[in-house]
Amino acid sequence: MKKLINAPAAVLADALKGVAAAHPDLSVDFANRVVSRGSVTQGKVALISGGGSGHEPLHSGFVGLGMLDAACAGEIFTSPTPDQMLAAAQTVSAGAGVLYIVKNYTGDVLNFEMAAELAEAEGIAVKTVLVADDVAVEDSTWTAGRRGVGTTVLVEKIAGAAAEAGADLEAVHAIATRVSENGRSMGVALTSATLPAVGKPSFDLPEDEIEMGVGIHGEPGRKRVPLVPAAEIAEELVSSILADFDFTGAPVIAMLSGLGGTPLIELYAMYGDVAALLEQRGVTVERALVGDYITSLDMAGCSITLLRADEELLRLWDAPVSTAALRWGV
């Protein structure tokens, strides 16, 4: 294993030091492993997400104006604890309640539930939105139901804009739910990720095969197939997503996210094929993101996320955002 780290057990703590050093506008609580905005806006609904580390920029890269108020970082591929999630709520709660944005993994779901109870006991109103957008499989290694993946980024951006504009907890929760329900994703792995603490690829994938529908922790997907040209991979991913949900007749926000180990030139090449397919199928992409947004350490591959939007969601998408990984309008 060749990694740019000091020790497998130190990666997260070291990375948090780097986040603090690179982004003086953010506040890092090293004890609780919570990255939050440096200041709180009284009366604004606070958005909090979190999960296992190794998917960066998700979630800490999305903390800032117009998006998250705080992100809780678990160890790599490991849920953060309820204590961390409670600490985050205590730090950024500004009298208007907290929205927890939770990817559908059993540990995350249970821990955020417990944190919500603890926060409510302290008088902080909490609502939760669950993201379960991965069409690849029902149930998976650490998930009952569908896994939560790329739509999480879109929930954080769009609900974040609604909160910034002054919407109350019920309204922010309603917007987040609408995004969650109207987003679908699917990914493909060309290689496994290597966890620092494990030191070798976490699953074996032969040199001539790919995992179609892989999870962001390397959970098995739909099938292993021979390595085929990008256009065929795009066809499989796009067809699977469109078979699950109707994306015609509405403006669509599309995200093609690398999984961490695939160069940007390949992601753009892949997006060219995806965009052409979507056009053929009558899907109108109004906004597109191409790059590393939800990753799996150094895994090679990508995921596609589509959101059936509308004028309001597009307007919230376009609203100013200022985070380490997503920034415009400000």
Q: Which of 149, 180, 174, 148 is nearest to 162 (CA)?
A: 174
217 tagged catalytic = yes
| End-to-end Cα separation, the chain, in angstroms | 40
How many residues lie near its own copies (CB under 8 A)?
70
Cβ neighbours of residue 141 under 8 Å, at least 6 residues apart? Answer: 215, 217, 219, 220
Q: Which stretch binds its own copies (CB under 8 A): 83-91, 103-111, 161-169, 293-301?
A: 293-301
Q: Which of 313, 223, 306, 315 is nearest to 271 (CA)?
A: 306
Q: Which of 23, 55, 59, 173 is catalytic?
A: 55
Q: Which of 23, 59, 173, 217 is catalytic?
A: 217
Helix (H) or strand (E) holding 170: helix 169-181
Answer yes or no whether residue 61 interacts with its own copies by CB under 8 A: yes
Site track 67-96 with its own copies (rule: CB under 8 A), x = hit:
---------x--------------------
Q: How many CA atoms does the CB half-sphere of 212 hold within 13 Å? A: 19
> For its own copies, which is the closer residue by CB, 53 or 93?
53
Q: Is 18 exposed, middle or buried (0-12, 13-18, 19+ CB in 10 A)?
A: exposed
**In angstroms, what is the minimal distance from the CB of 260 to its own copies?**
5
CB contact at 8 A, 271 and 309: no
173 tagged catalytic = no
Q: Which stretch binds its own copies (CB under 8 A): 63-71, 126-134, 139-147, 318-326?
A: 318-326
Interface residue list for its own copies (CB under 8 A): 2-7, 10-12, 14-23, 53-54, 56-57, 61, 76, 190-191, 207, 210, 227, 229-231, 233, 256, 260-273, 275-276, 285, 288-292, 295, 297-298, 300-302, 322, 324-325, 327-330
Active site residues: 55, 217
